[in-house]
Structure formats: C-alpha cells, structure tokens
Chain A
Amino acid sequence: MAEENVTFTLPDLGEGLVEATVLEWQVSVGDVIERNAPLVEVETTKSAVVIPSPKAGRIVALHAEEDRVVPVGDPLVTFAVTIGDDAPQAGIVGKVPTEEARPARRVRLKPPTD
C-alpha cells in the first residue's frame, strides 16, 4: 500500500460567498481522520459551518491559520491518503511513480484554545 498527498481547497459554500474565516481546526497535523468527520469550523458573513472531511487519511498540512480569511478555491488542508498498489490512479493511463508521502510544507499552528 502506498500513500499519496491530496490537497483540499475551500469549497464553494453557496449563495455567492467568496471567502470564509477559519474559526477552529478540528484536527492537527499528524492526526488520522475518517471521511465525513469534522475537519474545520469556518465562518461566512451569513453563518458558521463545520466542514466535514472529504477524505480518510492523515493530516499532512493545514494551509490556513485560525482567524485567517481564505478565498474559495485556496488550499485548506493536505491529506496523505492510502492507495492500493493495484488501484487505478484517476486520470492517469499507465504506471507512474508513487509520490513520497512527505509533507510539502508544514504550517505552525496556535495550540487549540479550548
């Protein structure tokens, strides 16, 4: 089994919202998270939302510090996800070298306040 890094960007939160403020990460770098488990709490001009994890994997990097405003489409989090050796890699024909599951970048975060 191998790992590959997958970066998740701030999704479109609807209603013409173009950005959101990160309130509180529900995970830390190194944590293993299940798909749909709480990932990050963000606030828009209209509401406060908990974004569920789109992946199961290990958190490699958090790209926005708490209280930072993130535009829709900007990187939010990078996961290392496990892929089977025989699993097809989407959109790629033939065999490609598997990426090292090493964080490209680490972000220092404030410790949780609660």
Chain B
Amino acid sequence: MSANLVGDVTMRYADLRPQSPADAAPVLLLHGFGTNFGMNWQAAGWPQALGAEGLRVIGPDLRGHGASEKPTDDGSYLPERFVSDLLALLDELDIARVDVVGYSMGSRLAWELALTRPERVRRLVLGGFGPVNAFEDADLSAPGEGTTPFDHVYRTVSALPGNDPAALAACARGQAGRPFRADPPVRVPTLLVAGAKDAIAAGAGELAATVEGAHVEVPGRDHLNAVSSRVFKQAVIDFLTS
C-alpha cells in the first residue's frame, strides 16, 4: 500500500508486506537524486526480490522527489531534514529498527541516519556510493549549465516527468551544504555495493575498509544500471539474512 505521512513536508511512502513474513527487520529503501521509489527500486525488481525472502519493504519518496512535497529552499534539503523525515516515518509505522539500503544520494542519507541514530539501524547497505564529492567543480547556482558529471546528472533528471528542476537544484545545494565525511565512521554492520564502472562510487572499497564493512563490485555495470542487477540483490539478501 501507499500512504502519505503529513509533516512539515508531506511524504509519500510504500509499505509492502510479504505474503510469508520472516522474523526479520523491515528494509527501508532510499532512492537516489532525481528519481523516486518506483523508478529506482520497484521497477528494478527490489520489492519482489526482498518480498520473496519474507522481508517487508518501506519505500519513501524522499522530500523533493516523486509524489512527496517539493520545497524549493535549500535549507529544506540538509541531510538532517531527510533524517527527521525517516525517523518520523519509522515512528509512524512503529518500527524500532530497520535495515537500510540506499542508492547514490539515498546512501548518503542512509549513512547520516545510521550515524546519528545507530539504535534505529540494524544493518546498512550503501549502493552506488563512494567518498568522492558528487558536486566536484559544479556551479550549484546554475546546475545543469556546466560540464561536470553532476551537471550531466542534473540535466537528465530535471527532464523526467514529475520532477521540479527548482526543487532538485535546492536539493543539490542543501546536500552540498554538508559535504560527506567518512570520519566519524558509522558503527553498524555495513555493506557497500557498486558497479565496477561506476565513477560516482569511486573509493567504495576504501570506505568499506574504513567502516570494517564488506564490499561487492558488480562486474560490467555503471551507476545507472547496477541497481537492477541480480548480483546486487543477491549480495544484499545474503548480507541481510546471514
């Protein structure tokens, strides 16, 4: 089912319960920049793969994305604002602890959640993510007008139906306001998974070592197409059910 969580920013989320529930933590799936739960996870076959293991899936459209509200001020998109949304969602659903699986920006936010509220996160999966600065050299006052990798991503996602370019620009600036730091490290069991050809996830192996976590590379895949791969899903299922 899908429902709305009404807060300062209304958030749409899916809550998908398996037919034969396992005695396990629900899995919170956090999508990447400019996409949404349906496109990033559902179309890529994740709820079905996790559901077959008896795992309940919670899939929000993060603020500024999908069917959730899309404020256009930068401050609404600081990582801690996303974390507040996620904690409110877990409270609403009366879920004490989750396994969190992020992709790209969703991994950045999953890290933030695990760092600030480790008691709410049982296991952490960072997909398509590395310690590099995603906004390297980009002029975020005019996103999409330059030639950096982020400008390219911004141009692609702002053209997707339902996206608001102004909200996405504000989201990028809000995220950039808190550059990722691997120190202090998260203290929950962590798995990093990325395509072998994913430049955005450069350094994932080193980050895995920093947090004493595991690292799986998906052969032949890049940032766009690693997310739907069987190798990725199987690595996550093995990690969450072991």
Residues of A within 8 A of B (CB): 15, 23-24, 26, 36, 38, 41, 43, 46-50, 52, 113-114
- Would you call A43 and B43 a contact (CB within 8 A)? no
Using A38-B49, A52-B45 as known contacts, list a sample of 11 further A-B pairs with CB atoms less than 8 Å apart, ordered by residue number in A.
A24-B229, A41-B45, A41-B228, A43-B224, A43-B228, A48-B44, A48-B226, A48-B227, A48-B228, A48-B229, A49-B43
Report Cα–Cα, A47/B39, bound state, in Å: 7
Given contacts A48-B44, A50-B44, contact A114 B219 (CB under 8 A): yes
Report Cα–Cα, A26/B225, bound state, in Å: 15
CB of B220 closer than 8 Å to a CB of A: yes
Report Cα–Cα, A36/B47, bound state, in Å: 12
Report Cα–Cα, A48/B225, bound state, in Å: 5
Report Cα–Cα, A16/B234, bound state, in Å: 32
> What is the size, in residues, of chain B's interface with A at 8 Å between Cβ atoms?
21
Among B49, B156, B229, the residue within 8 A (CB) of A23 is: B229
Residues of B within 8 A of A (CB): 35, 39-40, 43-45, 48-49, 156, 160-161, 219-220, 224-231
Report Cα–Cα, A43/B225, bound state, in Å: 7
Q: A26 contacts which chain B residues (CB < 8 A)?
A: 230
Closest beta carbon of chain A to B44's beta carbon, Å: 6
Nearest B residue (CB) for A43: B225
Closest beta carbon of chain B to A91's beta carbon, Å: 31
Q: B227 contacts which chain A residues (CB < 8 A)?
A: 48
Report Cα–Cα, A86/B225, bound state, in Å: 45
Closest beta carbon of chain A to B33's beta carbon, Å: 13
Q: B225 contacts which chain A residues (CB < 8 A)?
A: 23, 43, 48
Q: A46 contacts which chain B residues (CB < 8 A)?
A: 156, 160
Report Cα–Cα, A50/B40, bound state, in Å: 11
Nearest B residue (CB) for A14: B161
- Would you call A47 and B231 a contact (CB within 8 A)? no
Report Cα–Cα, A91/B14, bound state, in Å: 39
- Would you call B228 and A23 a contact (CB within 8 A)? yes
- Would you call A47 and B35 a contact (CB within 8 A)? yes
Report Cα–Cα, A38/B229, bound state, in Å: 11
Given contacts A38-B45, A46-B156, A49-B43, contact A114 B228 (CB under 8 A): no
- Would you call B35 and A38 a contact (CB within 8 A)? no
